[in-house]
């Protein structure tokens, strides 16, 4: 079935063409490289995996209860709009909410795949080209996974959010080689990684937990890549150049904050857009979720050296300045450990099941006829 048949509203069937500027950079230095970045490249090669084999796609998913989370996670819960909904409409709302979230993940991952290829083309250093080539493959796998999950398990797809599209457009159009790093590796990937983590830890359903856990194992490396590549470069920038990057970060963070309100969902249920902001602000879950989404971005921005009073004031205005104290390295290690632990648990259970089947066959064969 064509994806276009699953969209909540018609989507232009032509491609979205983003005119890009800047140089394709070749380098003739093949020997030297930064040890940490080359180690990350080696890990990127070692950690490649096949989504068809690693994820258990036989697990059934109830499209009206994709994540198994309480209804309090829906921004309209407890409002007059919630009270007006029938049980059938509430079930459909749960489906739309999950579809919107995973649809934006899918669209963002396609943006990351294209940006990864763009970084290979424009970055001046070979070690960065090497790693970004592995990231491009990672992102292709993520698009494949989220697309399959939406089409086979949810059966509903949302178009790309306008705020996400705007940030992707700004990221890809910029001719400076570091801007795709800043827009994608730090902002879009950082926010997506935090969103994956919140849902991974909150869902009670095995298939979305598997998907998000394994995708996060990749994404933790990608954010680390952005930090390593930009930290040294930004030390060399002039005050004016650094200010331009900070303006981009501030604008991008406001776009990402506004994106998670999911206005498109509520419009499909007849809720006026002007009421959505108030509902999100009054939802304890949504406020907490919104804050946690910056747990990866804020410390990363600080780490790469974009930490002027202006950018701190912007984060204070968003209510996320305290996130600068987060231990990004510890969060990344945790993402790796959770994925490894899930593998160990899953495959140990499968091995025990196989042994039980073998024992049953042996017992049956040994029993007298």
User: What is the Cα–Cα distance from 307 to 299, expressed in whole angstroms?
Assistant: 10
Taking the whole predicted model, whether its pTM rises above 0.75 is answered as yes
The answer to whether residue 261 sits within a structural domain is: yes
β strands within 25-180, DSSP E = none
How far is it, in rounded angstroms, from Cα 347 to Cα 353? 10
Instruction: Confirm whether 70 is domain-assigned.
Output: yes
Is 124 within a domain?
yes
Residue 341 domain-assigned (yes or no): no
Residue 57 DSSP symbol: T
Total of domains in the chain: 1
Q: Dihedrals φ, ψ of 60, to 5°?
A: -80, 150
Tokens representing 278?
């108030």
The per-residue pLDDT string of the chain (369 residues; one tens digit each, 9 = 90 and over) reads 789 999 999 999 999 999 888 889 999 888 877 888 899 899 999 999 999 999 999 999 999 999 999 999 898 898 999 999 999 999 999 999 999 999 999 999 999 999 999 999 999 999 999 999 999 999 999 999 999 999 999 999 999 999 899 989 999 999 899 999 899 889 988 888 888 999 999 999 999 999 999 999 998 888 888 888 898 899 999 999 999 999 999 999 988 877 777 888 988 998 887 888 788 778 888 778 877 888 889 999 999 999 999 999 999 998 899 999 989 889 889 999 999 999 999 888 766 666 666 566 556 656 665
Going from the C-alpha of 45 to that of each of 36, 41, 133, 218, 221, the distances in angstroms are 14, 6, 10, 11, 11
Q: What percent of the chain has pLDDT over 90?
A: 62
Residue 233 counted as domain residue? yes
Q: Which residue has the tokens 């969209």?
A: 7
| DSSP H or E segment with residue 288 | helix 284-292
Alpha-carbon separation of residue 218 from 94, 221, 222 (angstroms): 28, 6, 7
CA distance 229 to 27: 16
Euclidean distance between CA atoms 23 and 192, whole angstroms:
28
Residue 334 within a domain = no
For residue 353, the model assigns a pLDDT of 64
Does residue 306 lie in a domain region? Answer: yes
Residue of 360, 127, 134 whose CA lies nearest to 232: 127
Q: For residue 331, give both structure tokens.
A: 């969060």
- Residue range(s) defining the domain that contains residue 245: 3-10+35-328
For position 245, which CATH number holds?
1.10.620.20
| Residue 359, in any domain of the structure | no
Q: Which two tokens stand for residue 344?
A: 């160990």
């Amino acid at each position: 079935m064509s994806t276009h048949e699953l969209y909540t509203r018609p989507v232009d069937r032509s491609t979205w063409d983003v005119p890009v500027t800047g140089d394709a950079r070749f380098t003739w230095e093949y020997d030297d490289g930064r040890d940490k970045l080359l180690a990350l490249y080696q890990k990127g090669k070692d950690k490649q995996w096949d989504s068809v084999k690693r994820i258990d796609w036989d697990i059934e998913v109830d499209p009206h209860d994709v994540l198994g989370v309480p209804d309090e996670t829906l921004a309209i819960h407890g409002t007059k709009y919630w009270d007006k909904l029938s049980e059938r409409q509430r079930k459909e709302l749960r489906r739309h909410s999950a579809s919107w979230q995973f649809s934006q993940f899918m669209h963002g991952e396609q943006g990351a795949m294209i940006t990864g290829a763009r970084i290979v083309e424009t970055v001046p250093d070979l070690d960065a080209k090497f790693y970004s080539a592995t990231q491009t493959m990672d992102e292709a796998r993520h698009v494949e996974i989220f697309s399959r999950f939406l089409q086979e398990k949810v059966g509903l797809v949302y178009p790309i959010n306008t705020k996400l599209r705007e940030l992707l457009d700004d990221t890809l159009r910029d001719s400076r080689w570091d801007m795709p790093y800043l827009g994608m590796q730090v902002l879009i990937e950082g926010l997506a990684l935090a969103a994956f983590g919140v849902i991974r830890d909150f869902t009670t359903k095995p298939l979305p937990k598997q998907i998000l856990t394994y995708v996060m194992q990749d994404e933790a490396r990608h954010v680390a890549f952005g930090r390593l590549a930009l930290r040294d470069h930004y030390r060399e920038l002039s005050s004016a150049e650094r200010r331009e990057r900070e303006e981009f970060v501030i604008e991008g963070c406001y776009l990402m904050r506004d994106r998670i309100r999911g206005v498109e969902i509520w419009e499909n249920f007849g809720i006026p857009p002007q009421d959505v902001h108030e509902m999100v602000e009054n939802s304890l879950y949504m406020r907490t979720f919104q804050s946690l989404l910056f747990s990866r971005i804020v410390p990363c921005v600080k780490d790469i050296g974009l930490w002027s009073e202006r950018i701190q004031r912007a984060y204070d205005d968003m209510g996320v300045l305290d996130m600068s104290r987060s231990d990004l390295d510890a969060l990344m290690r945790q993402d790796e450990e959770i994925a490894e632990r899930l593998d160990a648990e899953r495959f140990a259970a499968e091995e025990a099941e196989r042994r039980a089947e073998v024992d049953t066959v042996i017992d049956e064969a040994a029993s007298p006829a």
